[in-house]
Amino acid sequence: MILSDADILDRLAAGDLVVEPLADVDQQVQPASVDLRLGERFLEFQRTNIPCIHPTEADEVGEYVTETTVPEGEEFILHPGDFVLGTTTERVEIPDDLVAHVEGRSSLGRLAIVVHATAGLCDPGYKGQITLELSNLGTAPVALSPGMRVSQLTFTELKSPADRPYGSERGSKYQDQDGPQASRIGSDPEFSGEDEGDGPSDAGGSA
């Protein structure tokens, strides 16, 4: 069951679902979703620093990613073909009986801006800001302004609460993230040599 606006407001009031800060509840709570705003921090990929990215090499991140802060009121220009990691202003906490889906806003989609490449899921138990995988699929640069509504979350109620929600007990590597986070796939059990049952989960909790 997908939560309606009334359901979302009830869960927010109860406090088990958290989306904060909501600057304007009337504007951000849509009929079946919550609009999220773009944060000020971006991770940009430098194409010329290394010949390729090795997912297993965590120490390479600093060689191909740089962080840029764009204060609210200024603009981040996303050029055609560019891919950057952004973040939401809002921090979310997803209860164990819900799963959240990150979606783009139609108005930005019509400008060829997508907000996630593949990781559109916030697992039950996830807490933190949401990393956005921003791409410009069009032919013209697009100015993105921190504070603008850039994405939306929909919420689906599970048939039963998750037995092993996203979090520290699973070793979930993006729990409580603050700002955009680069890939930590190198700590997955198949790369790190840990037993799969003990290794960190990359369940898409950061979306």
Q: State residue 65's pLDDT score.
A: 82
Helix (H, G, I), strand (E, B) or coil at 186: helix
Angstrom distances, CA of residue 112 to CA of 47, 79, 131, 143, 195 = 22, 11, 19, 12, 41
CA distance linking residue 52 with residue 60, whole number of Å = 10
16 is in an annotated binding site: no
Model confidence over 69-121: pLDDT tens digits? 999 899 999 999 999 999 999 999 999 999 999 999 999 999 999 998 876 88
**What torsion do the CA atoms of 46, 50, 54, 57 make, to the nearest 10 degrees?**
-90
CA distance linking residue 20 with residue 26, whole number of Å = 14
Q: Say whether pLDDT at 204 is over 50.
A: no
105 is in an annotated binding site: yes
Model confidence over 146-178: pLDDT tens digits? 999 999 999 999 999 999 998 867 667 778 788
Question: Would the pTM count as exceeding 0.85?
Answer: no
Question: What is the domain class of 5-48+55-182 according to CATH?
Answer: mainly beta
- 197 pLDDT tier (thresholds 50, 70, 90): very low
CA distance linking residue 87 with residue 52, whole number of Å = 25
Q: Which residues are catalytic?
A: 133
Query: Do 151 and 106 contact (CB within 8 A), yes or no?
Result: no
110 is in an annotated binding site: yes
Mean pLDDT of the 170-190 span? 72
